[in-house]
Amino acid sequence: MKIVQGSEKDQYSKLGVYMHEILRSNPGSTVIMKTVDGFKDSKTGKGRFERLYICFAGVKHGFLTGCRQFIGVDGTFLKGSVGGVLLAAVGVDANNGIFSIAYAAAEGESKDSWCWFFKLLKEDLKIEKDYEWTIMSDKQKGLIEACDMIFPNAAHRFCVKHLHNNFSSVGFKGEGLRRALWTVAKATTPAQFISRMEAMTEIDIEAAKWFDDKPPSQWSRAYFSTHPKCAMLFNNICECFNSKILDAREKPIIEMFEAIRLYMMQRMQKNRDLAKEK
């Protein structure tokens, strides 16, 4: 397809055609581009690209029909000469596998870019009772503030693997403390949580105090919301998605979006074939 050919700069000039083609071939999809206000290209008169969000109609239907009310979100760097980040939302399917929902190329991770992404995602997934939803992240820059603005009542869960990295980086290291942290995270009742936190205190009282400003509802199963029926402790669904698109992130923008679309189509077809066999 000629749209995906050309230099990295040429592909940005073809984004309008690419968006039109997606909407033509996938009616009901959401494709939104944001340009820099006040900046006009001297040759084309068009605004300079800033962000592009894509959520396919079939994906929206599939997620709302067969997935839990649980979303992992993450941002990962793009490796082209233009730079930027790819923001992504990933769900969990009925077989506990990853289900890619929506993604966007943006200028960077910030409160503004995450708010923009979350607003579009909320509209696509028709989220009205946000208290029934859980959002998991690694506490990226600007993400927490944006989530609180767009999903003020949703449960926000933090990846325990990322939490442990922070815990270790401030000096609380060693196998004993690592095991104690994970034991607390895996507690299934408030009483069990308290008992295991007391055990951590016996190892290192300062280590236990480090969690005083970290609500257990964000990192321990004992206090997780029951709405999503999901006990995940780390954001591996996003890590898995990022690993699958590693090569795509090095490509020019349209080639990258096409590589991601192809990966999603192939994965869904593979799952469809497996379901028929059973």
What are the DSSP E strand ranges found in the chain? 30-40, 47-55, 70-77, 85-92, 98-106, 134-137, 155-158
Q: What is the pLDDT of residues 214-234, one digit of tens each?
A: 999 999 999 999 999 999 998
d(CA 219, CA 180): 13
pTM of this prediction?
Answer: 0.91
d(CA 87, CA 101): 11
Q: What is the pLDDT of residues 155-213, one digit of tens each?
A: 999 999 999 999 999 999 999 999 999 999 999 999 999 999 999 999 999 999 999 99
Q: What is the pLDDT of residues 35-45, one digit of tens each?
A: 986 554 444 44
Give the pLDDT score at 237: 94
Which amino acid is located at 269 in the chain? Q
The ranges assigned to domains in the chain are 2-158+235-277, 160-229
* In contact, 130 and 64? CB cutoff 8 Å: no
Give the pLDDT score at 44: 47
